Every structure is written in C-alpha cells, then in structure tokens.
Amino acid sequence: MPYDISNLLVIAISSSVLFDTRKEHEIYSTQGLEKYVDYQIDNEENPLHKGTAFHLIEAMLRLNTLQSGKRIVEAVILSQNEPEAGLRIMNSVEHHQLDITRAAFTGGEPVPRYLRPYNVPLFLSRNEDDVREAISLGFAAGLLYNPPENFESEMNQLRIAFDGDAVIFSDESEKIYQEQGMDKFFEHEKQNATKPLPEGPFAPFLRLIAKIQQDQKTSTELDSIPPIRTALVTARNSPAHKRVIYTLRAWGIKIDQMFFLGGISKDQVLKEFRPHIFFDDQEVHAKPASYHVPSARVPAARKRKTKDDPDQLKLLDIEEIEHAS
C-alpha cells in the first residue's frame, strides 16, 4: 500500500547514532565483518543501549501526539549495516518502543544516494564520508559524537540549538574573518547589516521546524510547555549580531533564544539550555559541548569533480580553522 511521506518531516539516522554501537564497531574493526555479523545475530534478542540521537528522535516522534490523527515526523534508519545484522537494530527499536517502521541496510554501500527517495531534510550519522557527501548533495547533515554521560532530556519539549555561520547561514562572512581578520569581518558585517545572509546547509531544516512552530494546530502546548524551543548559539557579538537578526526577520523565522557569545565558551551555555541536539561546524566548539549535550559537527561538503580537476576528489578540512561563528 503506498505511503505518502511528502508532507512529513523525515529524519534519516544511522543505527550507530540511534543506538550506542561502540562495542559492536570495535568487533568489526578488530575481528572483521564476519565476526561482527555473527555477534549481532547471537545477540539479536539483547537490545542496544540508547545512542547520541536517541533522545532527539524520541522527542521528534512525540510531536506526532500534538494533534490526534495527524503525523508530523517520520524517522527512517539508513544504515550501512548488513541486512542480517539489521535485525538486532529493529528488535532494539521495538524494545525501546520507538515509532520507527522503515529502514534500509545497504551492506556497506554509502547511504546518501538514498536520501532523496526518502524525502529527507536531515541526516545524522557517525560516518564522516556519508555526512560530507550528504551535505554536498544539498542535505543538512551532522556527524555525531559519543553520547554524553548522564544527559537528562526535556520530556515534553523538543529543544534544538544551532551555530550560525556555516550551519544556518553560509560561510560567506566567515571566510572574510579567516582571510582578512576580525576587523575586516566586523566592518563587512556593519556595512551589510540589513542584507540577509545567504542560506547555509541547515536553513531548510530550520524553516521546517519554524513552520511546525507556527502551525496553530500543531502548537498545542503539552502541560503549558511549547512543544519546540530553538536556540542560536554563536561566537558572533556586537556589532555582527545585527545582520543575524535582520536575516532571520527577512526569512520570517523566529528563534526562541539567541546567545551572542563573542568567544565565550559555548558548552556551559548549552549545558543550561539542554538541547536534544546541538549543531556546530567547528570541532573546537562541538566537541566540548558533546560532553554535556548530544552534539554534531557539520563538516564542509565534499568537493565535486570538475573539468578542471577531473582526477581529484578532495575533502575540505575545517577542524583547524578558528573563525567568528
């Protein structure tokens, strides 16, 4: 029977972000594929523990309870796992009572090519090649860290935190900071304060979240708590904050909380905000945050082959860059 997902917010996740599969990955890395599959089969009835994205998916699926009979979110597992090993994944889904019924196990092949058929605006994985490729294809994607210890999630509210430049916005201004320094960056942002920033990889996803927030029928509060709360956590500060506010205003998007930190550490702010996920493009910000809250790094897209560079397929490395977002 055909199932229409065109009007749903579809989140694609790898099995290794939904569940904590570090032990299983170690078996695969040290003993090989055959031993790994055998281990998964032998432990099919032993449910996996919660992974970094578990609480996020749980909170997103809870949005489906806001209005009786109307589904808002669909979660799909897209995994490079062997199909035989995938049975343990689906058994774990059932054990944890997650409303996930759709999955694809590609037997080691990259999964980004399947994002478009599933109509996916967000892909979460621990495979960096897959994440970079997904971004290069135009999807929002995050490379997740290990789950934080003793993280307590909000039960009745989905909370998401974003960095600004190279995440919600493009890296246009950020490049000025990198190449010309802080003074030129501030000068550029002051001169262009009322000019909206170009969209970054997570702008379409933020628009979908904002649409759900603005939908009067789906904004019914649970226990008087708004069902979704968003935050912008950026290293920008005055006067570069104005362009951010004008940009979001031009997009017609409201973000509930904004933190213009100007170099202050993000991890302590995030510890208090307690998002189900935080997206940042820099290791220097995302990794410290990952010790407190579920976090994902948004790497640069994989460069596509061109006529001028037919034999090279390079990966951009942003981990050593310190910039203003």
Give the pLDDT mean for 185-204: 87
Give the pLDDT mean for 12-36: 96
Give the pLDDT mean for 65-78: 86
Q: What is the model's pLDDT at position 311?
A: 37
Q: How many residues belong to the chain?
A: 325
Distance (Å, whole) CA 238 – CA 298: 25
Distance (Å, whole) CA 298 – CA 2: 34
Distance (Å, whole) CA 278 – CA 59: 14
**More confidently predicted of 176 and 243:** 243
CB atoms under 10 Å from CB of 60, counted, come to 24
Question: Is 99 annotated in the active site?
Answer: no
Q: What is the model's pLDDT at position 69?
A: 66
Mean pLDDT computed over every residue of the chain: 87
Treating both helix axes as pointing N-terminal to C-terminal, what angle do 33-42 and 22-31 enclose, rounded to 10 degrees? Answer: 140
Are 162 and 230 in contact by the 8 Å Cβ rule? The answer is yes
Would you tell me which CATH number, out of the four given (3.90.1170.50, 3.90.226.10, 2.60.40.420, 3.40.50.1000), belongs to the domain 9-144?
A: 3.40.50.1000
Give the pLDDT mean for 127-139: 96
Which range among 40-49, 59-68, 274-283 shows the weakest confidence by mean pLDDT? 59-68
- Torsions phi, psi of 296, nearest 5? -140, 140
SS3 assignment for the chain: CCCCCCCCEEEEECHHHHECCHHHHHHHHHHCHHHHHHHHHHCCCCCCCECCCHHHHHHHHHHHHCCCCCCCEEEEEEECCCHHHHHHHHHHHHHCCCCCCEEEECCCCCCHHHCCCCCCCEEEECCHHHHHHHHHCCCEEEEECCCCCCCCCCCCCEEEEECCECCCECCHHHHHHHHHCHHHHHHHHHHCCCCCCCECCCHHHHHHHHHHHHCCCCCCCECCECCEEEEEEECCCCCCHHHHHHHHHHHCCCCCEEEECCCCCHHHHHHHHCCCEEEECCHHHHHHHHCCCCEEECCCCECCCECCECCCCCECCCCCCCCCC
Q: What is the model's pLDDT at position 255?
A: 96
Burial of 97 (0-12, 13-18, 19+ CB in 10 A): exposed
CA 318 to chain centroid: 17
Give the pLDDT mean for 82-106: 96
- In this prediction, residue 323 has a pLDDT band, given cuts at 50, 70 and 90, of very low
- In this prediction, residue 322 has a pLDDT band, given cuts at 50, 70 and 90, of very low
Would you tell me which CATH number, out of the four given (3.30.950.10, 3.40.50.1000, 3.40.50.920, 1.10.3470.10), belongs to the domain 158-297?
A: 3.40.50.1000
**More confidently predicted of 9 and 319:** 9
Among residues 4, 20, 42, 163, the one annotated as catalytic is 163
Closest C-alpha to 133, from 313, 308, 290, 287: 313
Q: What is the model's pLDDT at position 185?
A: 78
**How many angstroms separate the most distant Cα atoms in the chain?**
63
Which of 124-133, 147-156, 297-306: highest mean pLDDT?
124-133
Q: What is the model's pLDDT at position 171?
A: 84
Q: What is the pTM of this model?
A: 0.88
Domain spans of the chain, in order of start: 9-144, 158-297
Which range among 161-165, 176-180, 252-256 shows the weakest confidence by mean pLDDT? 176-180
Closest C-alpha to 281, from 180, 160, 174, 133: 174
Q: What is the model's pLDDT at position 312?
A: 36
Give yes or no for residue 14 having a pLDDT over 80: yes
Give yes or no for residue 307 having a pLDDT over 80: no
